[in-house]
Amino acid sequence: MRDETVFHHEVLAPDVDLYVAPTAKFKRTRVSFFVHDHLAPQRVALGALLPFVQKRGTRSYPTGEALERAAGRLYDAELLGGVHKFGDRQTLSYSLDVPADRYVGEPVFRQGLELLREMIYEPVQVDGAFRPDYVEQEKRFQIGRVRALVNDKIRYANFRCVEEMFRGQPFALYELGTEEAIEAASPAALARHHRELLESRPIDIYVVGDVEPERVRDELAQALAGRREQVQALSPTEVSAGAGDVRRVTQEEPMKQGWLVLGLRTDITRADPLRYGLQVFNGILGGFVHSKLFVNVREKASLAYTAFSSYNANKGLILAYAGIDVNKYQEALDIILRQIEDTARGRFSDEELDATRKGFQTQYRMRLDTVDGRILHHLGGELEGCPETIEESLVKVARVTREAVVEAAARTRLDTIYFLKGVS
């Protein structure tokens, strides 16, 4: 039986990498196209705006409506565009998700691929620039999205904590950019940015589905490699434990609950052997419902409905967060700090350690069952020069010892205590 966790890798053009995982397990086929740029204040807004403008039409389907209808006729083919922040990178993504030909009796994969190609390389333009009316409309929407961040309290509180932790650094940037930068984006600047990204930035293409690697390579080599100029290598994400003094920030908002977020930093990079030790540290602390935060903050003290922590391996960042009654701030903070301290000192049972390792192993194996899981698992490592198959990650997480958790924790510091305080 072939190892399902391995992607067939081919280089299509300078720094254009193709990864294909043929499988008949899914009813749909996915093609995901990622363009990576460094996060920079003057670039982030332009980059984030691009996919939205590109979805407004292509050479053959020059309006959003026409493009949407073309995709709909292909049995709900989905053309997606988005933007992500992976460490100190801004990554633009374009994907096609389409039913496998054999379930609809039509060659929808090839037709869908053509739509994706046009959306990426031939968005509708006039005189070498994007259409001014489309750009203006998408700018308005983007500004709306930036303003809407405050509506989603967990996301907002987590973002604000990160912003405080990394102030002055690229990672503090909001992934969509600032209102001013969006306002300043012109149709011509966007077109230049579009060309520059496709010609000179690293590109990764993933295909998962019922496809033959050789055929898909030939089709994609023609369709998606495009013209390449001097390719710019991206420097690795900066990962450091920070200055060491704890910053406290409280911000008031008219809302019913409060959100308490504790930000921790480490110098353990994604490629570091202790990376899995830190992952397990986070898991014991707040990755699961058996974890210390959920058990102690929610189940024992009834202080919160949500109490978890998350680990960003690309940036060496852990956020522990809970949605609490504002009058219970000190009580909740004390309990959360005690859980961090206990975990860091190795005060957890073998059972907790074992359950956490198992929990991650299950999560990894489940990634094999979803297209996104397979792609993002690989991409996360690939970006920092240390791609891993799911099989490799399984082995590494299974081997994490108590000592590795404590050692990883010793290289991790509490950086910021952020409180989004609800006031009536």
Partner 1 sequence: MTKPAVKSYPALGQEVHEAVLDNGLRVVLLKKPGFQRKYITFSTHYGGMDSVFIRPGESEPTTVPDGIAHFLEHKLFEEPDGTNVLDVYSKMGASPNAYTGQYYTVYLCSLVDEFRRGLDLLLDYVQRPYFTDENVAKEQGIIEQEIQMGLDNPQRAAYYNLIEGLFHRHPARIRVIGTVESIRRITKELLYLCHDTFYHPSNMVVTVAGDVSFDEVLEIVAADMAPRGYRPRGPIVRPIPEEPRRVLEEEVETGMRVSRPYVLVGFKGRLDRREGETAREYHRRLIGAELALQAVLGKSTRLYWDLYERGVIASRYGYGLSVYDGAAYFYAAAESEDAGAFRDEITQALAAARDGGVDDELFEEARRREVGQLLTALDDPDWLVNLYVTHLFQGLDLFERRELLDEVDPELGREFLQEFVQEGQRTVSRVTPLK
Q: Give contact residues for partner 1 (rule: CB under 8 A).
A: 23-28, 63-65, 68-69, 72-77, 97-100, 103-104, 133, 137, 140-141, 144-145, 147-148, 150-151, 153, 253-257, 288-291, 295, 298-299, 302, 304-306, 323-325, 351, 354-355, 358-359, 361-362, 365-366, 368-371, 422
**Minimum gap (Å) between residue 413 Cβ and partner 1:** 28
- Measured from the CB atom, the residue of 2 and 227 that comes closer to partner 1 is 2
Answer for the pair 243, 404: CB distance below 8 angstroms, yes or no.
Answer: no
- Measured from the CB atom, the residue of 249 and 368 that comes closer to partner 1 is 368
Contacts of 24 (CB under 8 A, 6+ apart): 210
**Minimum gap (Å) between residue 69 Cβ and partner 1:** 5
- Measured from the CB atom, the residue of 65 and 341 that comes closer to partner 1 is 65
Answer for the pair 113, 174: CB distance below 8 angstroms, yes or no.
Answer: no
**Minimum gap (Å) between residue 72 Cβ and partner 1:** 4
**Minimum gap (Å) between residue 122 Cβ and partner 1:** 20
Helices (H), 230-300: 275-282, 292-293
Q: Please report the DSSP string for 344-412 in residue order.
A: HTT-S-HHHHHHHHHHHHHHHHHHTTSHHHHHHHHHHHHHTT----HHHHHHHHHT--HHHHHHHHHTE
- Measured from the CB atom, the residue of 305 and 410 that comes closer to partner 1 is 305
**Minimum gap (Å) between residue 35 Cβ and partner 1:** 24
Pairing of strands 304-312, 129-130: unpaired
Q: Which residues pair with 123 in a beta bridge?
A: 58
Q: Please report the DSSP string for 63-89 in residue order.
A: SHHHHHHHHHHTTS-EEEEEEEEETTE
Residue type, position 376, single letter? L
**Minimum gap (Å) between residue 191 Cβ and partner 1:** 20
C-alpha 120/C-alpha 153 separation (Å) is 33
Residue type, position 58, single letter? T
- Measured from the CB atom, the residue of 63 and 232 that comes closer to partner 1 is 63
* Element at 99 (helix H, strand E): strand 89-99
- Measured from the CB atom, the residue of 218 and 354 that comes closer to partner 1 is 354
- Measured from the CB atom, the residue of 4 and 407 that comes closer to partner 1 is 4
Q: How many CA atoms lie within 13 A of 128 on its CB side?
A: 4
Answer for the pair 405, 280: CB distance below 8 angstroms, yes or no.
Answer: yes
**Minimum gap (Å) between residue 352 Cβ and partner 1:** 8
- Measured from the CB atom, the residue of 27 and 399 that comes closer to partner 1 is 27
**Minimum gap (Å) between residue 73 Cβ and partner 1:** 6
C-alpha 420/C-alpha 424 separation (Å) is 13
